């Protein structure tokens, strides 16, 4: 199967005053289309940075990130924005819902940004809302919802545009174990039903076992890589 | 894009009414003074021209009284003898109040004319009835426009207040809407010169002599001859020159008005700028989210600018409306100050298409310019900004020196105003210097406004105890 995402010798350095922090140290990685990759590692190991670079939210200091064979470093703001709105669905740990919009409006936001808000796309969005169990909450504002419900809205928003890549940053970080399991099953369904490529940053080893492959980062490099069958060993 | 504007921008605006009201107020403040100034300048000049040009007719020079008691009637004959003068037309002139059925019907500019001589200076077109006869004591001719407005017709009666109280007049004819009928914007009437003398208690007097020049005579040369002959007993002016002089007075008054307009635009722009800055900064997290979801920079820019333009437009509508009302109040006062001798009445304060368009366009332009800074800053918000929890999102770091300077300006503004009021109450000499008082109050108010506007971000943008974040925001390369 073709590589959906390719990361080649990527370095990412943050400068704060005179101090430098190397978040990624020459990491290389390939992710196949329809693969579910779990990324683990201690805080500061570079997991989120890797996710940001793949999601075109940030640019590497050196090295290259490819999506569908296209190097992101060659693209300008418009093209990068297009990748973010059409190819990538981001599930944020902090939900990142707009507080003045209802759940449904938040979910429809990527469609509106992409100018693809039509009856057909909105019908699909409503199906996603139903799938994440938010039908009765779709007209509620985020402040009226629980953490689990807000995360479901965040997931529905990421799925609404039918992206080929879903990037999830600690999607179960703020949820109880039952809700976490539901969310992980939903992501697994996305992979299996729609062949979406999923890259999930996660702390919990049990949750990481939902992935086909698990990589563990340490000091901005891949420290360990295991296939799903041996996930229970991690 | 429109849907996005409705959900992202309008929803925010609906939740922040005070901020939005402040921005609209800022725009309104600027527009009010611009519209009022333009209207006042335009209406005074227009009123003056309508008086001078239309009433002057073919007059090349005017001999005017330099005292309030008028000129001796014989001066017209003296002027008529001077070389280059074709005709010297005596006029008794005054503003009077008219009453219809016991109710005040407004003011009228009355010309008492010598029917035979006056035709040399003005061409009247009578539209109905008959013209008044020489010496006819109770006959008046009104303009058709004014009569129609008041529901009067030939044969009706009208009361006029003169120096000797009320006097009833019969409307014997109406002036068609041409030439002198435009004088004083149509609030104009003519009667026999002797009747006017009787009404106004000016026996043996006239107010001016309208001089018609021989063909080819230069006004300034004949002016010198008349001046020489009269030897200081009267003023001799060219009607157009008088217009220029008034215009010159108006220009100096305009400088004052323009300054006030400039200050209000400046203050308004500051209010808009600060509040837009705050409102955009408050949405940095939301904008980061939109960027992360794939909204390109230029659309963020468009959303911010479009929002400013919308608020500017609303402010403009209020500004034009309030500016027109203010112009009504200001016009009379300024006309009195500039043209007290001419006794111009400001009756034409209609908003012209030019002033309306200026007022309506200026608000959105002002707001768009003021929003450029915040909008440009928003362009640099990286999509990564969305990943920061709102509470820890970057805020601009407050600068202590800015806080101190802002507070200082406010204190100076308020302080000087209070000190000035105290000194004014205890110093009679100072209280008579109106220009100094005006300038000082204007400066104090300006400083107060400026200080409060500069302080605004410190009050709203930086919450108490917040020192801003030590690190820089994520900036998109």
The whole-model pTM stands at 0.63
Q: Which of chain A's residues have a Cβ under 8 Å away from the Cβ of B17?
A: none
Note down the domain range covering A72: 3-233
Smallest CA–CA separation between B288 and chain A, in Å? Answer: 9
Residue B245 falls in which region: left (phi positive, over 0), alpha (psi -120 to 50) or beta: alpha
Q: What is the pLDDT of residue B387?
A: 64
Q: Is A107 helix (H, G, I), strand (E, B) or coil?
A: helix
Segment B340-344 shows an average pLDDT of 47
- Give the closest of A58, A77, A100 to B296, CB-based: A77
Picking from A18, A51, A81 by the largest number of B CB atoms within 10 A of its own CB, the best residue to mutate is A81
What pLDDT sits at residue B343?
Answer: 46
| CB atoms B292 and A57 under 8 Å | yes
The pLDDT tens digits of the residues spanning B391-409 come to 444 445 556 787 888 889 8
Q: Are A158 and A89 within 8 A, CB to CB?
A: yes
In this predicted model, what pLDDT tens digit does every residue of B100-124 receive, in sequence order? 888 888 888 899 998 888 888 888 8
| Rama region for B55: left / alpha / beta (φ>0; ψ in -120 to 50; rest) | alpha
Round the average pLDDT of chain B to a whole number and report it.
78
> How many Å separate Cα B191 from the centre of its chain?
34
Q: How many domains does chain A have?
A: 1
A94/chain B closest Cα distance in angstroms:
7
- Give chain A positions within 8 Å (CB) of B389: 94
pLDDT value at residue A179: 78
Q: Are B448 and B417 in contact (CB under 8 A)?
A: yes
pLDDT score of B247:
58
Chain B residues inside the 8 Å CB shell of A158: none
- From the list B77, B73, B72, B96, the residue with the least C-alpha distance to B87 is B77
Chain B residues within an 8 Å CB radius of A23: none
pLDDT tens across the length of chain A (234 residues)? 678 899 999 999 887 777 888 888 989 999 998 899 999 988 888 888 899 999 888 888 999 999 988 998 888 888 988 899 889 998 887 788 888 888 888 888 888 888 776 777 778 778 888 877 788 888 888 888 888 888 888 888 888 888 899 999 888 876 778 878 888 888 888 888 878 899 999 888 888 888 889 999 988 888 888 876 554 544
Q: How far is A195 from chain B (nearest CA, A)?
A: 21
Look at residue B474 and tell me whether its pLDDT is greater than 70.
no
Classify burial at B354, counting beta carbons within 10 Å of its beta carbon; exposed 0-12, middle 13-18, buried 19 or more: exposed
Residue A66, chain B, CB below 8 Å: the answer is: no
Most confident of B57-61, B110-114, B184-188, B295-299: B110-114
Q: Shortest CB distance from B296 goes to which of A78, A86, A169?
A: A78
What would the two tokens of residue A52 be? 């940001």
pLDDT band at B141 (very low <50, low <70, confident <90, very high): very high
Residue A163 main-chain phi, psi, to 5 deg: -75, 155
The shortest CB-CB distance from B290 to any of A59, A82, A113 is to A113
Using a CB–CB cutoff of 8 Å, tell me whether A119 touches chain B. no
> Which chain B residue shows the shortest CA-CA distance from A19?
B471
- Residue A112: its chain B contacts at CB < 8 A? 3-4, 7
Inter-chain contact A94–B382, Cβ cutoff 8 Å?
A: no
Q: Which residues of A touch B7 (CB under 8 A)?
A: 98, 100-101, 105, 109, 112
Report which of residues B9 and B151 the model is more confident about.
Answer: B151
Question: For position B458, what pLDDT does the model report?
Answer: 65
Does the beta-carbon distance from A90 to B292 stay under 8 Å?
A: yes
Q: Report pLDDT digits (tens) over B165-211.
A: 788 999 999 988 777 777 777 888 999 999 998 888 888 899 999 99
Q: Each residue of B205-225: pLDDT tens digit? A: 999 999 988 888 888 889 999
Say which CATH number the domain at A22 has.
3.40.50.300
φ, ψ for residue A17 (rounded to 5)? Answer: 65, -125
Burial status of residue A150 (CB atoms within 10 A of its CB: 0-12, 13-18, 19 or more): buried
CA distance A229 to chain B (A): 32
Q: A89 — contact with chain B (CB < 8 Å)?
A: no
pLDDT average, residue stretch B246-269: 69
Provide, as residue numbers in chain A, all residues whose Cβ is less than 8 Å from the Cβ of B10. Answer: none
Min Cα separation B460/chain A (Å)? 20
Is the complex ipTM higher than 0.85?
yes
Q: Do B387 and A96 make contact, defined as CB atoms within 8 angstroms?
A: yes
Question: If DSSP codes are grouped into helix, strand and coil, which group holds residue A174?
Answer: coil
Chain B residue with the nearest C-alpha to that of A116: B1
Q: Is a pLDDT exceeding 50 seen at residue B466?
A: no
Calpha distance B118→B112 (Å, rounded):
10
Find the CB nearest A16 among B291, B382, B471: B471
Whether A98 and B293 lie within 8 Å, measured CB to CB: no
DSSP A199: E
Partner-chain residue, chosen from B11, B295, B389, that has the shortest CB–CB distance to A100:
B11
Residue B471 contacts A, CB cutoff 8 Å: yes
Nearest to B236 by CA among B220, B248, B250: B220
**What is the distance in angstroms between the Cα of B150 and the nearest Cα belonging to chain A?**
58
Residue B416: pLDDT above 50? Answer: yes
Report the residue from B4, B11, B292 with minimal CB separation from A112.
B4
CB contact under 8 A, B8 and A16: no
> Would you call A83 and B294 a contact, using CB atoms and an 8 Å cutoff?
yes
Q: Which of B3, B292, B297 is the closest to A84 by Cβ? A: B292
Residue B350 has pLDDT above 60, yes or no: yes
- Flag whether residue A79 sits within 8 Å of chain B, measured between CB atoms: no
B314 CA to chain A: closest CA distance, Å?
23
For B267, the token pair is 């203050």
pLDDT tens readout for residues B433-443: 656 766 776 67
- What pLDDT, in 10s, does the model give residues A15-38? 777 788 888 898 999 999 889 999
User: Which residue in B4, B292, B385 has the most chain A C-beta atoms within 10 A of its own C-beta, making it the best mutation to test that interface?
Assistant: B292
The answer to whether B386 contacts A96, with C-beta atoms less than 8 Å apart, is yes
How far is the alpha carbon of A212 from chain B, nearest alpha carbon, in Å? 26
Which of A89-98, B382-391, B461-470 is least confident? B461-470
Please give the pLDDT value at position B390.
Answer: 47
């Amino acid at each position: 199967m073709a590589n959906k995402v390719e990361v080649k010798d990527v370095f990412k350095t943050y400068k704060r005053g005179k101090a430098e922090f190397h978040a990624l140290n020459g990491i290389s990685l390939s992710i196949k289309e329809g693969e579910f990759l779990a990324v683990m590692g201690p805080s500061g190991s570079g997991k989120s940075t890797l996710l940001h670079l793949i999601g075109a939210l940030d640019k590497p200091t050196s090295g290259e990130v490819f999506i569908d064979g296209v190097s992101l470093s060659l693209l300008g703001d418009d093209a990068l924005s297009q990748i973010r709105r059409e190819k990538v669905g981001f599930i944020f740990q902090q939900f990142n819902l707009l507080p003045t919009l209802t759940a449904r409006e938040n979910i429809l936001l990527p469609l509106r940004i992409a100018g693809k808000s039509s009856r057909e796309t909105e019908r699909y969005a409503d199906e996603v809302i139903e799938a994440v169990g938010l039908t009765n909450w779709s007209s509620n504002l985020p402040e009226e919802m629980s953490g689990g419900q807000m995360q479901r809205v965040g997931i529905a928003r990421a799925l609404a545009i039918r992206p080929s890549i879903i990037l999830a940053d600690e999607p179960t970080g703020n949820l109880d174990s039952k809700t976490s399991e539901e969310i992980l099953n939903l992501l697994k369904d996305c992979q299996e039903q729609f062949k979406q490529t999923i890259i999930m940053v996660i702390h919990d080893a049990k949750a990481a076992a939902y992935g086909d492959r698990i990589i563990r980062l340490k000091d901005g490099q891949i420290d360990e890589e295991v296939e799903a069958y041996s996930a229970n060993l991690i | 894009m429109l849907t996005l504007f409705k959900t992202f921008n309008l929803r925010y605006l609906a939740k922040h009414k005070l901020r939005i009201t402040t921005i609209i107020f800022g725009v309104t403040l600027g527009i009010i003074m611009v519209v009022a100034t333009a209207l006042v300048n335009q209406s005074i000049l227009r009123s003056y021209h309508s008086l001078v040009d239309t009433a002057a007719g073919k007059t090349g020079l005017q001999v005017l009284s330099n005292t309030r008691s008028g000129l001796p009637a014989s001066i017209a004959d003296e002027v008529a003898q001077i070389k280059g003068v074709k005709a010297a037309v005596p006029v008794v002139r005054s503003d009077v109040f008219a009453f219809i059925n016991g109710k005040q019907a407004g003011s009228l500019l009355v010309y008492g004319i010598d029917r035979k001589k006056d035709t040399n200076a003005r061409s009247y077109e009578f539209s109905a009835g008959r013209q008044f006869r020489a010496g006819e004591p109770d006959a008046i001719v009104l303009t058709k426009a004014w009569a129609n407005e008041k529901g009067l017709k030939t044969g009706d009666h009208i009361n006029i207040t003169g120096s000797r109280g009320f006097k009833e007049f019969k409307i014997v004819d109406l002036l068609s809407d041409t030439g002198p009928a435009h004088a004083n914007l149509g609030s104009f009437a003519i009667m026999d010169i002797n009747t006017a003398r009787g009404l106004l208690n000016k026996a043996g007097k006239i107010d001016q002599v309208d001089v018609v020049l021989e063909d080819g005579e230069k006004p300034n040369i004949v002016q010198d001859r008349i001046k020489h002959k009269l030897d200081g007993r009267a003023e001799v002016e060219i009607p157009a020159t008088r217009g220029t002089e008034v215009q010159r007075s108006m220009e100096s008054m305009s400088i004052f008005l323009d300054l006030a307009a400039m200050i209000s635009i400046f203050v308004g722009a500051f209010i808009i700028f600060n509040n837009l800055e705050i409102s955009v900064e408050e949405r940095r997290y939301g904008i980061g989210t939109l960027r992360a979801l794939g909204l390109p920079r230029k659309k963020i820019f468009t959303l911010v600018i479009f929002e400013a333009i919308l608020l500017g437009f609303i402010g403009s509508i209020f500004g034009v409306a309030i500016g027109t009302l203010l112009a009504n109040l200001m016009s009379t006062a300024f006309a009195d100050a500039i043209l007290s001798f001419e006794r111009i009445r400001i009756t034409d304060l209609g908003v012209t298409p030019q002033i309306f368009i200026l007022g309506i366009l200026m608000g959105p332009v002002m707001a768009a310019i003021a929003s450029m800074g915040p909008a440009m800053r928003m362009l640099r918000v990286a999509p990564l900004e969305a990943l920061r929890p709102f509470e820890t999102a970057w805020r601009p770091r407050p600068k202590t020196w800015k806080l101190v300077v802002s507070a200082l300006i406010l204190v100076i503004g308020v302080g000087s105003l209070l000190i000035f009021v105290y000194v004014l109450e205890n110093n009679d000499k100072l209280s008579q210097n109106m220009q100094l008082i005006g300038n000082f109050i204007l400066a104090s108010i300006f400083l107060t406004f400026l200080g409060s506007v500069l302080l605004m971000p410190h009050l709203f943008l930086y919450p108490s105890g917040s020192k801003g974040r030590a690190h820089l925001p994520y900036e998109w390369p």
